[in-house]
């Protein structure tokens, strides 16, 4: 059974009615349990659970420290191409946008790798737009062959691939996949993606399964909060991660809840997500999935990220640029404006001050040659 068949049963589900039925007594009972059902998770996402945020946060912190200790893994994104065939209403890289397009050469990718690795980063996330004819699978393979000389862990955040293509990229050094469904509400998804290959909801939804079957080490899924009902999207992302954990127990599964940030695109946000709502979402996910990783990006401010650490966060980006080649050249158009502009060292210092241990390389990772 694929995840698509699981999520389809909630297509016409009345989330508003269910959340309205949750009472404080029900929330209290859920917080006393060690194992939560999917409906328990949904209840903790409801407005009725909002007054219990402090209790949720304390329990989330205890659970996280039990399974992960005080470790926070640090990574940074590396944008190598922003050509895109999609018309996503909310994205600055969409083909409808008039921006400076860049596609890094292999020499430019090596220069980016040198600059990033010089700061101590050993986890990198490689990103492209969805332009298969430009950032071809072969191009991505070549980029990975370069990057594996500099980094112990290389994740990819590119267009959905076939199972065979994931096999080939894994063979070239990719050990992680990040792919957001954007919104799990299928009708809304269709409205937001009016042109390009991203219109195929099902092919994108099942991409993590294809990578897992080919032996990827880690997968991160999630929704871009602000595109649709945040309760529904957070619930669906949690179910997606739970499904992947059950089906592929050997894979490290993580979840991220990025929020919409200011864009080049003139996009009207109809579903704003407050800081408190996001904090509740992160804590609820931790209580539902005790062993899942939780990633918090630089879309959030430094103050929010520091405050959210005890909610269950296990991974953070640092030293971030969302522009192609942005670590060595400031000229390209960023995908979105980051809110946390701290350097890698500043993030590390804050983590240590708050009692967390920043980890810059993966002890399971391969040997990385000395760049000195």
CA–CA distance, 249 with 290 (Å, rounded to integer): 14
Q: pLDDT digits over 111-150, tens only?
A: 999 999 999 999 999 999 999 999 999 999 999 999 999 9
372 CB-contact burial (10 Å; exposed 0-12 / middle 13-18 / buried 19+):
exposed
Say whether 75 sits in a helix, a strand or coil. Answer: strand
Domains of the chain, each with CATH number or no CATH: 3-359 (3.20.20.70)
CA–CA distance, 62 with 67 (Å, rounded to integer): 9
Say whether 200 sits in a helix, a strand or coil. Answer: coil
**Which of 179, 112, 102, 200 has its CA nearest to residue 151?**
112
**Which of 10, 5, 66 has its CA nearest to residue 38?**
10
Q: Which two tokens stand for residue 370?
A: 């000395």
Q: pLDDT digits over 53-98, tens only?
A: 999 999 999 999 999 999 999 999 999 999 999 999 888 888 888 8
The whole-angstrom distance between residue 171's C-alpha and the CA centroid of its chain comes to 23
Q: How far is CA 19 from CA 15, 46, 249, in A?
A: 6, 5, 31
Mean pLDDT by 10 residues, the chain (372 residues): 90 97 98 97 98 98 97 96 92 84 96 95 96 97 98 97 98 98 96 94 97 98 96 98 98 96 69 96 98 96 96 96 85 78 95 95 45 37
CA–CA distance, 246 with 291 (Å, rounded to integer): 12
Alpha helices per DSSP H over the chain: 3-7, 15-20, 24-31, 38-45, 53-68, 106-118, 137-147, 163-171, 186-192, 201-205, 207-213, 230-247, 275-288, 302-308, 344-353
* Residue 362, pLDDT score: 57
Say whether 296 sits in a helix, a strand or coil. Answer: strand
Supply the pTM of this predicted model.
0.94
* Residue 278, pLDDT score: 98
CA–CA distance, 54 with 260 (Å, rounded to integer): 25
* Residue 331, pLDDT score: 66
């Amino acid at each position: 059974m694929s995840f698509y068949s699981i999520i389809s049963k909630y297509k016409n589900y009345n989330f508003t009615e269910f959340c309205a039925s949750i009472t404080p007594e029900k929330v209290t009972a859920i917080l006393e349990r060690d194992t939560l059902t999917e409906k328990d998770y949904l209840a903790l996402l409801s407005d009725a659970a909002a007054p219990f945020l402090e209790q949720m946060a304390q329990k989330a912190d205890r659970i996280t420290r039990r399974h992960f200790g005080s470790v926070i893994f640090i990574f940074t994104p590396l944008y190598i191409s922003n050509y895109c065939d999609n018309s996503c209403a909310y994205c600055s890289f969409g083909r409808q946008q008039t921006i400076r397009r860049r596609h890094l050469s292999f020499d430019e990718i090596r220069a980016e790798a040198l600059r990033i690795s010089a700061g101590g980063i050993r986890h990198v996330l490689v990103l492209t737009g969805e332009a298969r004819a430009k950032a071809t699978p072969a191009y991505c393979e070549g980029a990975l062959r370069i990057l594996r000389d500099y980094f112990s862990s290389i994740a990819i955040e590119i267009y959905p691939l076939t199972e065979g293509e994931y096999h080939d990229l894994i063979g070239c050094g990719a050990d992680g996949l990040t792919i957001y469904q954007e919104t799990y509400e299928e009708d809304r998804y269709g409205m937001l993606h009016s042109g390009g290959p991203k219109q195929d909801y099902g092919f994108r939804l099942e991409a993590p399964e294809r990578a897992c079957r080919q032996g990827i080490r880690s997968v991160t899924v999630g929704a871009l909060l602000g595109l649709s009902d945040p309760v529904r999207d957070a619930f669906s992302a949690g179910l997606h991660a739970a499904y992947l954990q059950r089906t592929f127990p050997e894979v490290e599964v993580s979840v991220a809840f990025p929020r919409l940030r200011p864009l080049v695109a003139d996009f009207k946000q109809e579903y704003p997500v407050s800081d408190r709502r996001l904090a509740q979402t992160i804590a609820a996910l931790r209580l539902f999935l005790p062993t899942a990783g939780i990633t918090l990006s630089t879309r959030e401010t430094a103050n929010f990220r520091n405050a959210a650490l005890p909610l269950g966060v296990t991974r953070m980006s640092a030293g971030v640029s969302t522009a192609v080649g942005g670590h060595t050249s400031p000229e390209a158009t960023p995908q979105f404006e980051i809110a946390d502009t701290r350097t890698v060292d500043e993030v590390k210092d804050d983590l240590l001050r708050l009692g967390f241990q920043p980890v810059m390389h993966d002890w399971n990772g391969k040997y990385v040659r000395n760049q000195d």
